[in-house]
Amino acid sequence: MYLLRHGATPPNLVEPPVMQGDGVDEPLAPIGRDQATRVAAALADRPIRAIYASPMLRAMETASLVAERHGLPVEPIDSIREVKVGIWEGSNWPEVERNYPAEYRAFRDDPGKNGYPGGETLQQLLDRVTAAFGELMGRHAGEEIVVAAHSVVNRVYVGSLLDISLAKGYFIPQANCCVNIVRWRDGKAKLLTFNAIGHLQ
């Protein structure tokens, strides 16, 4: 499985970045489309059998540019959409720390248990995406597939494959249009490549 993060959107490009979660559904920025075009070129020669994506615009656009190279459709998978960030949607982290200090500290201390207020915990997110990725890889055992997902989705999943706690895994880097390669064998996932970005240079 080639697990991608989507290309950059306008909320990704402001400083500090804005949390989009599963409610802010903006398309790719021009630089995001360029990133997606580059990752599509990097995967153009691979024998890709299927392409999946979160149903959110930024992931679907990214996957569609990859799919064009292979003449394949993109199948949306609702269970890999971005984490629900609740009342923090549309905010940046300095705003959250200032306006919700207690909740901010609780989240930073244990995001697996103390989730986004009004949204999900990272454990809930990890449970749903692990099941989804496992089902997709099991369905395509012996084949190569592409999955376009999101920053937090990828971070918690990749962190789990590295046996890193959710509190630390939350900070794993996932650049826009990076590639993670996951191998599925005997019902188990193993991370082979992490946050690869050479194709974007």
Can you tell me the mean pLDDT for 180-201?
97
User: How many CB atoms neighbour CB 142 within 10 A?
Assistant: 7
**Quick one: pLDDT at residue 123?**
97
Confidence band (pLDDT; 50, 70, 90) for 101? Answer: very high
In the prediction, which pLDDT does 141 show?
A: 95
Kindly report, residue by residue over 46-95, the tens digit of the pLDDT: 999 999 999 999 999 999 999 999 999 999 999 999 999 999 999 999 99
**Whether the Cβ atoms of residue 129 and residue 83 lie closer than 8 Å to each other:** no
Round the average pLDDT of the chain to a whole number and report it. 97
Mean pLDDT to the nearest integer, 29-51: 98
Could you please report the per-residue DSSP string of 37-96?
Answer: HHHHHHTTTS-EEEEEE-SSHHHHHHHHHHHHTTT--EEE-GGGSPP--GGGTT--HHHH
Name residue 34's amino acid. D
Regarding the domain delimited by 2-200, which CATH topology (the fold level of the hierarchy) does it fall under? Rossmann fold (3.40.50)
Separation of alpha carbons 38 and 75, rounded Å: 21
Cα–Cα dist 25/21, whole Å: 8
- Domain locations in the chain? 2-200
Put simply, whether the predicted model's pTM sits higher than 0.75 gets the answer yes
Helix spans in 100-150 (H): 101-109, 122-139
Q: Which helix or strand (DSSP H or E) is residue 166 part of?
A: helix 166-169
Q: Give the model confidence (pLDDT) of 120-170 as tens digits.
A: 999 999 999 999 999 999 999 999 999 999 999 999 999 999 999 999 999
